[in-house]
Amino acid sequence: MSDKQIPYRGSRYLPVLILLSLCLLLSVLVAGCSESDEDLCFSTTYTVDTLEKRGDSSLSSVNFDKFDDFFSIEEAKNAKNQYENALVVLSSNPTVAACMGNDAYKVRIMELNVKYGFLDLFLRYSATDKKVSNMVFQDYPEFQTTLNTVIKDYEAMRTDVRNLQVAASDLDQSRIPSTSEAAFNTVKSKLDDVLKDIDNRLSVLYSYR
């Protein structure tokens, strides 16, 4: 037998084996990340659905014809908070847009914004309504100051109502979750009612200038 050392033939395949191993490891990592993103998307969507359902439940308990009703005010505040929390959760996870689809994601954001904006408007209207009720007991200088303030408040709210109406009408309702459709339709109809109320209030208040 010759003492000449026979080189290890497998050594020439070593770079190939390393490359294959790296590719296998990368594929496992990518699959793991994809699965993790899907899990995160599912949990985020579930959380948003839960928060929105709570908000819709509180919204359905609000009597929008009574701006001074304590129970309705508290339910409106609770619904607004639930929608706000849902928006925070939804917007804090960028992967949700990818798994939901950009169009569906944008609709969901806008739908929640419309409901949140309407409840914020309702609470502001209620606060301004109290100012008007107290205004009749004020002396002239204070009365005039309050009058100018509430007129500006109502004018700002009128602009906000119109903006919300445009946003609501531009929204593709077919992409809204079926469980939230009733609440969204309620908001759309109440926006029209609030706009009429604001216009009526302003026409009366303008006469006292």
Phi, psi of 13 (to 5 degrees): -95, -5
pLDDT at residue 42 greater than cutoff 90: no
Q: What is the pLDDT of residues 114-127, one digit of tens each?
A: 999 999 999 999 99
Instruction: Say which residue, 8 or 100, is predicted with more confidence.
Output: 100
**pLDDT attached to residue 209:** 87
Instruction: Say which residue, 41 or 150, is predicted with more confidence.
Output: 150
What is the mean predicted confidence (pLDDT) over 38-50? 88
**Tally of domains within the chain:** 1
Residue 7 in tokens:
């080189």
In a domain, 76, yes or no: yes
Whole-prediction pTM: 0.81
pLDDT at residue 53 greater than cutoff 70: yes
In a domain, 25, yes or no: yes
In a domain, 35, yes or no: yes
Which runs of consecutive H residues, i.e. helices, occur in the chain?
A: 14-60, 70-92, 95-100, 102-135, 140-170, 181-206
The confidence band for 189, taking pLDDT boundaries of 50, 70 and 90, is very high
Query: What radius of gyration do the chain's Cα atoms show?
Result: 29
In a domain, 29, yes or no: yes
In a domain, 3, yes or no: no
Q: Count the alpha carbons within 13 Å of 180 in the hemisphere toward its beta carbon.
A: 25
In a domain, 9, yes or no: no
* Mean pLDDT rounded to a whole number for the chain: 85
Q: What is the pLDDT of residues 9-28, one digit of tens each?
A: 444 544 444 444 444 444 43
Query: What residues make up the domain containing 130?
Result: 14-206
In a domain, 6, yes or no: no
Q: What is the pLDDT of residues 69-115, one digit of tens each?
A: 999 999 999 999 999 999 999 988 878 888 888 899 999 999 999 99
